[in-house]
Structure 1
Amino acid sequence: MVFAPKFLAFVAASLSLVGAAVLEERAPVDPCATIAGKKWVSPKEVRACYQSIKVDETLKANIIEVVTKTLAFHASTNYQIKAPQPFTNDVHEDILATLAQIKSKKYASDYDLHIDLSRAFKRLNDGHVVWINRCYDSAFVNYLPIPLSLITAKDGSQNVHISPEAFTVATAEFPDQIQFWQDSLKWPLTGKLQSLAGAKVLLINGRPPFDAVNDNVAIAGSYQSFATRQNGFFSSYQATAAGWTYLLGQFAQQSLPLSDNAVLTIQREGHLLPEIVILPYRSRIGSAIKPFTDGKSFFANNCRAVPATNGQDIYASSISAFSAPEDSERPVEEFQQQTPVPASVARKHPINVILDTQPLSDVVLPPTLAPGLPAAPGSRNAAQFYLLKDGKTGVLALGSFSDSNYDAFLNSLLQGLVSLKSQGATQLVVDVTNNGGGFICAAHWLHRIIIGPKSTTVPQAGLDTEARNGPLAQLIVKEIINKNADPDNELLYNPRQWRNAKNEVFNATDDWLQPPVKKIINGRADAFSQRLGQECQPEAFPANVPDVGLFDPKKVVIVSNGRYVLRLQAPNPTG
């Protein structure tokens, strides 16, 4: 009897614990509520939120059906089953077969479905075909304060280093997280984040650095070239309309919460012995994400289609739920590697812009890395001109072929080159590092004014093209020519948008996709249009075209890390 109260207390406590467990099962914590309203969280917390969103099977089926049926507008899927040399080893994805597998596969969460879709399309390594879901891609961005660089030593050897400017960049971009990372470093490096800058990286997560580089290559996408995808792992720079920006690289910046931390074996400058550094990634809320309080509001505010998600009917007599006004939110613009171009301007000029799962960087390039020379006349937005101190070398830093004003942009390119030449420049460096693309005819224009009027520039650079010619494309053309479905000549399938191989504009009633040019590609039947000519000269050029080239072609050098879009051929109406 003496022990009864204690026993009863124990039983009561046990029952209370059981009751608490039952209550917890009935009202689990919403992982999206945990990160709601916070600027910085852990990648693990972001993943928990994403993985709490269940697959809507109806929506999944609809997405895969639409994507499967419209891929022919964006990619030559038959070629990509096994690309010809030199990209055979880089592109070998049967995307239609993969989509069929994804359609029948069951997923624990919508996030897991997204990962499969994203990586399937990235295996195409084609910048024209990109799977982006703003529900997840860059909704929260993973960051490390130690971007990496591939540095060439005086003896010609190359090694991976923590970028010498890493601490400067991190303190400017992440002032509210630096102390967290300082405290995360283990003794004796605690509080010595700055001392890591410039350190040689011996291992990443216990493996040689280029193992990590090449692992990233496999999921980076967008570029066929293996080396170009390797370059994306490292820090870099870009000229933009807002000024010079710093690219952290795909090691220090991830568009998804893929990694919780990085373990680096390093050799700091002035030290002989290697040291192990463990730094956690931190996830920062993306600039475009809409406020949310829980999983339901996260999905409703960030994962649903908006009026401009799938474009608009430019012939609509009124704005409806399925059309969007000129100034409406356009999700695709968040991921275009260019300053947004007004829709009215973009419709008038062929554009080819790279899309990335990370928005255009706005990280400021440290002043010590930015050009210290004055910009020459003609400099405008992402196009900056400089005359080097030798007095004979001009530089055009061209971070984009896009601009808010097409005519002003083309005229500024001419003005800048003329200015360099008038100052004594006899040779030219064109730096298109990380150029995101833009107006196709701007590239033709730049080529024409540098080289002058030659058989390789007039009427174009000799890079004719052809269009993919699937059944739906053929039906669209027939609607246009037989039923006047495009009276204002707005659509790329309108014959008046194109020239034939003789560079003669098609008539309004020409069925330019007939007869299809049939081919067998990797054992599958395919079809293309007839050969198409140029579409830039003279209507897309300013009137003041120089009669002679501004520079000797043998004294013009193009500098790039391969991550650029410089297209001198006609835009493909299906690409």
Structure 2
Amino acid sequence: MLAAALFAVLFALGASAGPDPCVAIAGKKWVSPREARACMFSFPVDPELKANIIQVVNNTLPFHTSVNYQILAPPPFQNDVHEDIAADLARIFQMSYDSDFEFHLDLYRSFRRLNDGHCTVFNFCYDSLYISYLPTPLVLLTASDGSQSVHIAPEAFSVASAEFPDQIEFWQDSLPGNLKGKLASLSGAKVLQINGKDPLIAVNENAVTTGSYQSFGTRQNSFFSSYSRGAKGWAYIMGNFALQIHPLNDFVELTIQRIDNSLPETLSIPYRSRFGSAAKNFTDGESYRENNCVSVAGTNGYDVYDLASVSEHTHAMPPVAYFQQQPLISNQDRRRPINVMLDGTPLSDVELPEESHPTTAALNESYSVAQFYLLPDNITGVLALGSFSAGNFSVFMASLLDGLQELKALGATHLIVDVTNNGGGYICIAHWLHRILIGPKATTEPQAGLDTCTRASTMAQLIVEKINKGADPKELLSYHPSQWKNSSNVPYSVETHWLRPTVDLTINGHQDAFSPRLGAECQPFEMAPPDHGLFAPENIAILSNGRCGSSCSLFSITMSKHEGVKTVVLGGHKDIPQQYCGVVGGQSTHFAEIDTEIKSTHLKTHILAPPDL
């Protein structure tokens, strides 16, 4: 089902009485969480701007598919997802808050409870402005007898030394007694308690709040460290324990048993907060908000037929890009169908330790997030696919075909597709990879994916009506009929209202409307696929830690359900069912893109249109 991602760069202005706590941290790379909180909590709520934010969010939600579904998600997620976001927005509107940051945290957490990585609200004022770190990322390890326990990652000191060389001495000195200066000795230690409780209590508490993925088991996995293939190399994912996007915790108390030490030891490790890579420097509270908390080009939409607006927005990278779990892509390629997760934590720039890199060299046809390897058995190929997006769509598409053909030429008959921490990306790359692996058949042509439709809200229907009457003569808008095909894969004509007749449904007691079933989004492809599948389905396995979202889920689900391909999930608690994908969906969008459709069809003054942020 076609899902629309809600994204807003939110802002609110305010002033605090007394000494300005933002002055104390201005210009510093590292501060204590307490100092960062003092600054961030110092701004009162502006009632007008609070009302503006809630109105924008409320009027954008009708474009999003999951709003009614997530009130009580269907099996197997009925115990994991039950968030009535409309009711929470009404509650938040009535609530009084001591600070603007407190207001945002309530809004942010309410949306995270949807557990839908497409429906999120972020605020550049606060989210990842100061990221709090620990030098002790955790892992869940399984012993040979099947027992599981939480450990400080064996590579923890190596990672921390490389990523935080300017803070290692601080953490070394913070250790108590005979442990002072022995941070390296903590690596690999068994964690007996976190803040005086069984470690799994902390894991489960994080799973309730981290959001993004519907499966509780997948959200548990986000607590722990892992890896991902990035556009520029192998990245280390710190996990929600060792990386937090808000500076709300000052320290953690761990009871551990170090390697070669039979006695438990209890110690406190302080979090340190680092100024975000996308944040703008400031000197005081006023400049903090002027530089980080006001709308910029890309925050709101624009009229594509207004030359002044087009000039302002053409080359601006949309703020949403910072939170999309994909490499940066060009504005031109952003017009392609995209289905990507969003998260308050930006893509990791922490490097994976060299000892954890693949031991064999990548093949020549590897490109960006797609790396190809032939295992020593000479029959098993590996495609490490960190995203379904890369810097150049056409090069990416060609590299996937060339890399798989190179594996075949080297003798590979079996294939592992590693999509660990893959947040999605281009829908047509997901369809393309499915098609070239499996070959031409009923499940790959004319669409190597799921049947789709889109939510047909009143405002969406009005946009199409305007386009039918000539509002988009250059066919620039996403709602233009020419951008879509009917269930017989015939493109719609300009005068066709392709959202009608609506399919009316009752979802969790709420009336909703959707378009008729839509046809292929991607075929014919811009390059010819091979005449035969490159690997037999029974010889393919899709591997991940469950954190496979959006277009990654689309690919994994269709390969599993339509082709019988094996799916393998590594990690996770043995007593919790593991899901091999996170959140499915179709083309995703964000507030500024929706606002562009509304402004370009001259519907901005309609009562249902969201105002500008």
Question: Normalising by structure 1, what TM-score?
Answer: 0.92
Corresponding residue of 1:213: 203
Q: Distance in 2 between matches of 1:390 and 1:399?
A: 24
Corresponding residue of 1:563: 547
CA contact (8 A) 1:82 1:93 kept: yes
Q: Distance in 2 between matches of 1:488 and 1:169?
A: 51
Change (3 A) 1:305 1:462: closer
SS in 2 for 1:297: helix
Structure 1 gaps, min length 5 = 1-25
C-alpha deviation, 1:573, in angstroms: 6.9
1:390 paired to 2:377: yes
C-alpha deviation, 1:27, in angstroms: 7.8
1:86 paired to 2:88: no
The 10-residue stretch of structure 1 (357-366 or 513-522) with the greater mean CA deviation from structure 2: 513-522
Corresponding residue of 2:181: 191
Letter in 2 for 1:343: N
CA contact (8 A) 1:195 1:268 kept: yes
Corresponding residue of 1:18: none
C-alpha deviation, 1:156, in angstroms: 2.1
Q: Distance in 1 between matches of 2:152 and 2:418?
A: 24
1:324 to 306, 312, 330: 312
Letter in 2 for 1:414: L
C-alpha deviation, 1:145, in angstroms: 0.2
Corresponding residue of 2:457: 470
C-alpha deviation, 1:442, in angstroms: 0.4
- Could you give the per-residue CA deviations for residues 191-221 of structure 1, whole angstroms, max 9, x where no partner exists? 1100000001111001111100111111101
Change (3 A) 1:360 1:425: same
1:343 paired to 2:331: yes
SS in 2 for 1:238: strand
1:518 paired to 2:518: no
C-alpha deviation, 1:462, in angstroms: 5.2
Change (3 A) 1:504 1:376: same
SS in 2 for 1:315: coil
C-alpha deviation, 1:402, in angstroms: 0.8
The aligned runs of 1:70-469 (5 Å cut-off) are 70-319=60-309, 324-347=312-335, 349-461=336-448, 463-469=450-456
CA contact (8 A) 1:75 1:128 kept: no
Corresponding residue of 1:537: 523
CA contact (8 A) 1:377 1:415 kept: no
Question: Normalising by structure 2, what TM-score?
Answer: 0.87
SS in 2 for 1:362: coil
C-alpha deviation, 1:407, in angstroms: 1.1
SS in 2 for 1:31: coil
SS in 1 for 2:511: strand
CA contact (8 A) 1:76 1:468 kept: no
Structure 1 stretches of 4+ with a deviation exceeding 4 A read 572-575
Q: Determine which structure has more spread, i.e. the larger CA radius of gyration.
A: 1
Corresponding residue of 1:53: 43
CA RMSD of aligned residues (A): 1.6
Q: Distance in 2 between matches of 1:522 and 1:246?
A: 40
- Could you give the per-residue CA deviations for residues 288-310 of structure 1, whole angstroms, max 9, x where no partner exists? 11111111111111011112112
CA contact (8 A) 2:327 2:390 kept: yes
Identify the structure with bigger relative contact order (alpha carbons < 8 Å, sequence gap 6+): 2
Structure 2 gaps, min length 5 = 1-15, 559-584, 591-613
Alignment size in residue pairs: 544
C-alpha deviation, 1:77, in angstroms: 1.4
- Could you give the per-residue CA deviations for residues 331-357 of structure 1, whole angstroms, max 9, x where no partner exists? 11111111111111211x101111110
- Could you give the per-residue CA deviations for residues 517-537 of structure 1, whole angstroms, max 9, x where no partner exists? 111111111111111121111
Q: Distance in 2 between matches of 1:472 and 1:195?
A: 60
Letter in 2 for 1:571: G
